[in-house]
Amino acid sequence: MPAQIGMTTHLTPERAAQFMRIAMGHVTQEYPHKADHVFGGDGDIARHRDHHPLFFGSFDWHSCVHGYWTLARLARLFPHVQEADAVRQLLDRMLTKDNVTGEIAYLNRSLSRGFERPYGWAWALALCAELSRHAAPEARRWAEAMRPLGEAFAARFKDFLPLSDYPVRSGVHSSSAFALRLALDYADACGDGVLRAAACERLIQWFGQDRDAQAWEPNGADFLSATLMEAEVMRHVLAPSDYHGWLHGFLPRLAWREPRTLFEPARVSDRSDGQIAHLDGLNLSRAWCWRGIAQGLADEAPLKALLLQTAELHVAASLPHVSGDYMGEHWMASFALLALAGLGS
């Protein structure tokens, strides 16, 4: 029922506190862990925490990064909930110059060129962008400690984008559209005009002429919509009038709920399976995209209402499952936060 759906899709203080507890429960949990590591010799055999003094928790490096993003964002948006004090203490303990120096040392290995590209790069930038928006003195200290890591990943994007003749149109970690959506948020928050220009140039080259998307999705392990993610990132590249025309060429049948698969929340058959559990993230990230796309349709009230209603349906399908099996719980709160509050201010 619409009224019931609406009640479940707000970011309330109670839900923010729940997300804080979930993220605090895994960002410093070392095991189980899936490492992204290229061994160059016996000397590279070490505990994951020895390689990554800051982002050693969660199930993998990028999940740990966006776990900290979740905590930082919620501590700013809901500074007075009871859990916020513990979050601030954790951030103060972990977001230090020494820990960041250790992370940068790992990036400087010759075998780390492709480490976490582009998904982890993007989340690291998102965390730095979020910290830059905090006003409290201790938060400014965290932002300053993290600044070299953000600059390192921004430099990697700047080096990589000129080589990226083709985008990766996927619904998983390799998604070019998702990575550059987060990179643009960092560029805007931290004043990196060079990164913004490079990202916009590539996005227009990759997607500017796309028309009549068929949206053959989801795949069985998607946590992003390749189609909607493209539409959302282009909203941040094109002028509003240009975006209006581009969107109606890219998705010309939205008013008729086509492509149909984009309007139907994905079914999740087994939340203990790490790949199948991705589909809950797909529902949540689709909701984030639908809400963003709707913002670009201010003059089309009926269509905007349809997209917002579709976002509500997707949130309602997966928000109750943010907490549960660790295979979803170690990352899902971040996607729920995207769905409910997006990026930025």
Is 286 in contact with 225 (CB distance < 8 Å)? yes
Tokens read off for 316: 């309602």
pLDDT recorded at residue 2: 34
pLDDT recorded at residue 8: 58
Does residue 239 sit within a domain? yes
pLDDT tens-digit profile of 89-125? Answer: 999 999 999 999 999 999 999 999 999 999 999 999 9
Parent domain of 344:
216-345
Q: How far apart are CA 239 and CA 105, in angstroms?
A: 40
Q: How many domains in the chain?
A: 1
Is 63 in contact with 330 (CB distance < 8 Å)? yes
The owner of tokens 């590591």 is 37
Tell me the backbone φ, ψ of residue 269, rounded to 5 degrees. Answer: -85, -25
pLDDT recorded at residue 6: 42
Q: How far apart are CA 109 and CA 131, in angstroms?
A: 26
Does residue 58 sit within a domain? no
Does residue 77 sit within a domain? no
Does residue 245 sit within a domain? yes
Does residue 14 sit within a domain? no
DSSP 3-state of 180: helix
Nearest to 138 by CA among 104, 80, 87: 87
* The dihedral sign for the CA sequence 264, 19, 344, 57: negative
With a cut of 70, which residues of the chain have pLDDT below it?
Answer: 1-8
Alpha-carbon distance values, 224 to 41, 261, 295, 300 (Å): 36, 13, 19, 26
* The dihedral sign for the CA sequence 307, 321, 230, 218: negative
Does residue 6 sit within a domain? no
Does residue 236 sit within a domain? yes
- The DSSP call for residue 116 is T
- The pTM for the full model equals 0.95
